Each structure stands twice: as C-alpha cells, then as structure tokens.
C-alpha cells in the first residue's frame, strides 16, 4: 500500500545537500525535484546544489563525483568547511516492453549503494522504477504521495544520524 508523506520534524540541519536529478521523464522528475527542494527549505537547510544529468543511468557517476569531492580535504577547505550531509538522487524509469528498464534500475541501485558505503555519505535513492505513467503521476505529481518530499526527509534524517555517529 502506498504511504502518504508525513511532515518532517527535523529542523535546521548542519551541512550541505546535493540533488542529482535526471532530465529524462522531466515532467515527473521535475516534480520530485521541486518537492525535495521545498522540503529542504521548510526544514531550514541551505539551498541544495542541483546537478542535472541526461537519464537515470547517469545519476551514479555524478553522485560518485560529488562524494569523492566531498571527502577530499581540499574540497572541504574550498567550501568553507561545510560538509556534504547527503546526496539525493531523483529519476523516473518507466517499464517498457523489454527488460531494459529493469537492467537500468538494478545497475543504478547497486551503484548508489556502493557510493554511499565507499564514501560514508548518505545517498538517497529515489530513482523510481515504475510500471506505468499512472504510478508516476501518483508518486511524483500528487503532493500527498510525492517521493521527492520523502527523499528530502530521508536525507535530513540521515544527516542527523551520521552527525551523531561521526561527531
């Protein structure tokens, strides 16, 4: 059953956030992006760095570069010491008549998991593999179920968790 998005209680997070969003299926991804930005703003986070890539398959390489840069001492010094608290990844993959979408979805999932484990930065996976446009409309365009909002809430919560774990 599809869960409604609940309001977050996390306020004024430390650190910075980045969002990697695909341009493919732009109607849906743009709605996820707007919802994620709105939720971060509502929580008092600074403006997130936005990186747009052609499609879902290209999301991991941009996320990996962000994570590498964030973990380098030179990058932290150049950014004034603010650390990257989380990377939010947004995309929509619609199944077609072949297994291509499933291959893309699996590759993206595996890559995003690897990035967060290697770099110790939460990578929020909201690259949706959906059966049809009806599912996309509910999960991306409906404010009560928008997974962009949920992705931002997860990023905020994981930022706090990592702050407690790492100090």
119: annotated active-site residue:
no
Bridge-partner residues for 130, per DSSP? Answer: 94
- Which is it for the CA torsion 14, 161, 2, 56, positive or negative? positive
∠ CA 92-133-58, rounded to 5°: 15
Q: 100, 103, 119, 145: which is the annotated catalytic residue?
A: 100
**Among 86, 122, 136, 127, CA closest to 106:** 127
- Are the beta carbons of 151 and 63 closer than 8 angstroms? no
Give the catalytic positions in this structure. 100
């Amino acid at each position: 059953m599809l869960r409604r998005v609940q309001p977050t209680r996390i306020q004024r997070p430390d650190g910075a956030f980045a969002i990697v969003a695909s341009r493919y299926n732009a109607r849906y991804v743009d709605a996820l992006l707007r919802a994620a930005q709105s939720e971060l703003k509502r929580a008092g986070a600074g403006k997130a760095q936005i990186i747009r890539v052609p499609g879902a398959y290209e999301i991991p390489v941009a996320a990996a570069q962000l994570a590498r840069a964030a973990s380098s001492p030179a990058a932290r010094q150049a950014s004034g010491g603010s650390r990257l608290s989380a990377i939010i990844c947004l995309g929509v993959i619609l199944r077609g008549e072949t297994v291509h979408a499933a291959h893309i979805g699996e590759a993206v999932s595996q890559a995003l998991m690897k990035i967060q484990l290697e770099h110790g930065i939460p990578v929020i996976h909201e690259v949706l593999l959906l059966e049809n446009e009806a599912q996309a409309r509910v999960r991306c365009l409906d404010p009560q179920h928008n997974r962009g909002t949920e992705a931002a809430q997860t990023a905020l919560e994981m930022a706090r968790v990592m702050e407690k774990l790492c100090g």
